[in-house]
């Protein structure tokens, strides 16, 4: 038997074994799409079928480069290039750019909810792939010195059991070896839920909620900050402010989703 045949035999056995295991799992522990109810016969995403997953509305140009939200499309009047929205023009922004994969609606909103509130950790992997596919063309991941996530307060981590953004970051690092996740930020103020608060209230409540970790070395560094959902951008902007005040040269933000379209 030649060397190539010897090396290919174990991989063939593993492939067959994997198919058998998947078949048995689908037989005794079937998974069904959370959206349409169809049976799922793949390990890539055990919560949504490919058809429903493909309905996620991705962020497309033209968009605002400072908050990541797409501009409304107007037939015959659509600009070729991205431009800053009126909201971003009227406030102080500490990040240099923001890139989001999709709109926080329908399947993507449900997927984020499963990860954040239903302890469905396995959804982090397809979410990370979605994020990577959505922003890869706009990012040079090798240009960043520091990769950091928006942190949760220790009380929230204790309650939830994990930081959902860190789970996505860990999956992202598996696909992008240039990214090295660092615990450079800490959340020192336990804020209540922002879901019912207006933009100004969010900005005021999140003020001084974060600190740079004492052993973090970010002075003169280019930082990539990851968040899950951008609603008003108050949280990511406060993180960017703290990082820039601590000496970061630049802060770019990536996120799974943005909450709304611009008018």
CA dist., res. 161 & res. 117, Å (int): 10
User: How is residue 122 annotated by DSSP?
Assistant: G
Q: What is the pLDDT of residues 195-227, one digit of tens each?
A: 666 777 888 889 999 999 999 999 999 999 999
Judge whether 263 lies within some domain. no
| 81, part of any domain | yes
Position 165 in a domain: yes
Give the range of the structural domain holding residue 217, as residue numbers without chain letter.
Answer: 54-258
Asked if residue 43 belongs to a domain, the reply is: no
Using omega within 30 degrees of 0 as the cis cutoff, is the peptide bond preceding 119 cis?
no
Tell me: do 28 and 58 sit in the same domain: no
Asked if residue 127 and residue 7 are part of one domain, the reply reads no
Based on the domain organization, do 92 and 11 belong to the same domain?
A: no
pLDDT of residue 263: 47
- 220 belongs to a structural domain: yes
* Alpha-carbon dihedral angle through residues 231, 232, 235, 237, given to the nearest 10 degrees: 130
Residue 79 has pLDDT above 60, yes or no: no
Using DSSP, state whether 181 is helix, strand or coil. Answer: strand
In a domain, 23, yes or no: yes
Q: Is residue 42 part of a domain?
A: no
On whether both 82 and 116 belong to a single domain, the answer is yes
| 92 and 14 part of one domain | no
* DSSP assignment letter at 133: H
- When mean pLDDT is compared across 18-27, 110-119, 198-207, the lowest value belongs to 18-27
In a shared domain, residues 126 and 247: yes
86-100 mean pLDDT: 92
Is residue 219 within 8 A of residue 246, CB to CB? The reply is: yes
- Candidate from 3-7, 29-33, 126-130, 165-169 with smallest mean pLDDT: 3-7
Q: What's the whole-number mean pLDDT along residues 25-35?
A: 76
pLDDT higher than 50, residue 16: no
Residues 227 and 155 in one domain: yes
Banded model confidence at residue 71, pLDDT cuts 50, 70, 90: confident
Shared domain check, 104 and 20: no
Average pLDDT over residues 33-37: 96
Closest CA to 234 of 126, 99, 94, 132: 94
Number of domains in the chain: 2
pLDDT in tens, 156-178: 999 999 999 999 999 999 999 99
Higher pLDDT, 36 or 22: 36
What's the whole-model pTM score? Answer: 0.85
Determine, yes or no, domain membership for 208: yes
For residue 98, what is the domain's CATH number? 3.40.50
Q: Is residue 101 a contact partner of residue 59, using CB atoms and an 8 Å limit? A: yes
223 and 139 housed in the same domain: yes
Which DSSP string do the residues of 234-248 spell out, in sequence order?
A: HHHHHHHHHHHHTT-
157 and 212 together in one domain = yes
pLDDT value at 5 more than 70: no
* Residue of 227 and 24 predicted with greater confidence: 227
In this structure, are 21 and 71 located in the same domain? no
Residues 106 and 205 in one domain: yes
């Amino acid at each position: 038997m030649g060397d190539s045949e010897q090396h290919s035999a174990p991989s063939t056995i593993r492939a067959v074994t994997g198919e058998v295991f998947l078949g048995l799992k689908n037989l005794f522990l079937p998974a069904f799409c959370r959206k349409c109810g169809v049976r799922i016969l793949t390990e890539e995403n055990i919560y949504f079928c490919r058809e429903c997953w493909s309905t996620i509305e991705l962020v497309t140009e033209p968009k605002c480069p400072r908050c990541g939200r797409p501009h409304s499309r107007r037939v015959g009047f659509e600009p070729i290039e991205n431009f800053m929205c009126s909201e971003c023009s009227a406030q102080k922004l500490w990040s240099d750019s923001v890139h989001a994969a999709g709109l926080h609606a329908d399947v993507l909103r449900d997927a984020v909810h499963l990860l954040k509130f239903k302890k469905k950790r396995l959804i982090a992997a397809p979410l990370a792939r979605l994020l990577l596919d959505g922003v890869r063309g706009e990012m040079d991941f090798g240009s960043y010195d520091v990769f950091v996530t928006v942190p949760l307060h220790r009380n929230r981590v204790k309650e939830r059991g994990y930081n959902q953004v860190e789970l996505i970051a860990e999956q992202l690092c598996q696909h992008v070896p240039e990214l090295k996740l660092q615990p450079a930020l800490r959340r020192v103020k336990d804020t209540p839920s922002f879901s019912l608060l207006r933009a100004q209230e969010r900005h005021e409540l999140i003020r001084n909620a974060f600190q740079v970790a004492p052993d973090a070395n970010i002075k003169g560094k280019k930082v990539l900050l990851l968040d899950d959902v951008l609603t008003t951008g108050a949280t990511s902007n406060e993180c960017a402010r703290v990082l820039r005040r601590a000496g970061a040269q630049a802060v770019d933000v990536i996120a799974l989703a943005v909450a709304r379209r611009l008018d």
